[in-house]
Structure 1
Amino acid sequence: MYRVIRKNCASACSLLFTRSNNYSSRAPPRHVAASQICKELSENGSTSSSSRPSVLYADKQQLIFSRINDITDKIHFRHAVAEDIDNLVAMTNEEGWWYTAFHYKVLLKLDPFAITVAADEADTPVGFIGVCNVLPGIAYNGPFIVRKDFRGVGIGNILNKLMKELIAERNGCMDLDHDFVEHYVQKGFIHKSYKFKLYKLTVSDYCRNVNEKASKCNIVPITNKLLPFVLEYDRGIYRGLDRERILRACLFGDSVHTVAALCDETIKGYGSLIKSTTNTYSISTLFGDSENVVEDILGNMLELVPNGASLIALLVEDKQLSKRFSRFETYFIMQRIFNKFNIETDLDRMYYVNDYML
């Protein structure tokens, strides 16, 4: 279910574009066909950063919104605010996505203009697209979804066009179902990074008891005092890229359990566990110098997950799945892609990753 729905939503532009020839007969009269809107956007000229170097990022978005709003009927586009998050969570949860308010609030914490809303006349959200300004020159493409009763009328195409304009000259990054990679390659996302497998299981005592302590590391909470050393370790994973503002947003909060593996006063790995819903958890990140370190961090995390809870884990494709999770089934394969260049990483130390943030 997650896989099918994610294909349809994450690649709504493909689905809706194939229907564009029938918009005149199928679309409700209060909506404008996406093909017409995209055509008019193109005719009105580009708003790329190179053509408007003096316009601030937020002002540029408002220019784009105003152009779209001028040529749409009944649907308008605006920045998301905190009050929209509940609608976004409800919309995505209905489709089987496991993301929570925490995931989307992280995007808004990093970039107040990260999420765009398509709203009806009552200002009720009917669609969302995320383009988060995570680091200078780098944009992460976040949620892309249209409400069920508004699909097939072109909103997905508009949001897809908007995504392209908001990325502009930056290096855009997205994680998506592997089956749709080639579709986005044709749209310019030509640099393929690592693949990862999404697994889902029901936690039991077996997951906790299958392994004894595997390394000599102590697994400790990440405190403000320890954070600089974790950041240094992360820069080693990302080949010098400073992700401090990302990690500060992602690793701390009421829904997050974050720990590091400390051996002889040296960081050997770190990871975070997110409580997604009452009975669903996700391993957001888990990096380590060895499988033994990873096993110990996993053991620490699983102590917090009750029996019967669902656990989501995204494992880098070439890594061996932990024996704790031998009863997993592969949910589906995903891939990270970029439009300008790959961001180099030390894949040897990357085990479990996320699909909502760079």
Structure 2
Amino acid sequence: MIHDIEVLKAKTSKISEIDFNNLKFGHVFSDHMLECDFKNGEWEAPKVVPYQPITLDPSAKIFHYGQSVFEGMKAYKDADGKVWLFRPLDNFKRLNISSKRLAIPELPENYFMDGLKALLKVDEDWIPEKEGSSLYIRPFVFASGNGFHASPADEYKFIICTAPSGAYFSGEVKVLIEEKYSRSANGGVGFAKAGGNYAGQFYPTQLAVEKGYQQVIWTDDTSHEYIEEAGAMNIFVRIDDTLVTAPTSDRILDGITRKSIIELAKSENIPVEVRKLSVKEVVEAAQNGSLKEMFGAGTAAVISPISGFGYKDNDYELPKLTDDSYASFLKKRITDIQTNKVEDPFGWRMEVK
């Protein structure tokens, strides 16, 4: 436990200027951030500082070789004003898994957890209380060391910024199953939350948007025959009453919301299969009426329902379920646990005291 994290408070707060009833996702930033530097072979002590620009040399290796990883988390306030995190140690562990793959020094657990808690205590008033809102938390690490030589940097910076946010998505999305581009490849960095993974998604997604879709369903990198992820989220497909999702691999992110949905569904006696799922099977299920639901799963949206999908110039609409939607049921169960409205039998919730 770090008992003496240095806190440099902002001279003035921006909070009075914020309309907490109309928050876009990730557009408004809190007063402070956590900052920690890796220099001379070790991580220096983290400190809380005012939210501010970063000054970097043009030769900083982040600009040239892309050593950058990040996480996405949320903090919530319950009806009594208590502050909660959801499975934060999983985010910490995944950040280090991502860092290791990109040759970035791993962070000590106490630097991450104690630093995050110190930041949340300073900016506690920034955590929204409106239903569906939360304080989005973005931890990230990048190469700040200088040099044009193609090698890992010798200096890095770890930062946590927070942003009070409303719901990430509103309504259902229509997706296009990708037939040409790949999100990642075997032996690559698809399992890591590396910034470059997302940069590589933007162009194919832009092409899908131009065709009238909101997101891309990624398929495997060799045959494009198997469903893998939905945009920047894991994907679940309901065929009859069974929930199917792809297994994690070098190409697929081990999503924390994904893991939670699988565990929660099993506890509710919902049949779950973690297996390869072919595009052919999904199309046939849509054609014969056994395809009931598709939804994306991730931290920002929790669950994002899919209303239909396109494949090989054909569109397939999904039924509109009212009373028997797994997406609605599971999202409510997870968000109720996150916001301390119900018991947490899984031990996922952590109070920030």
Alignment TM-score, normalising by the size of structure 1: 0.29
Higher helix proportion, which one? 1
TM-score (norm 2): 0.29
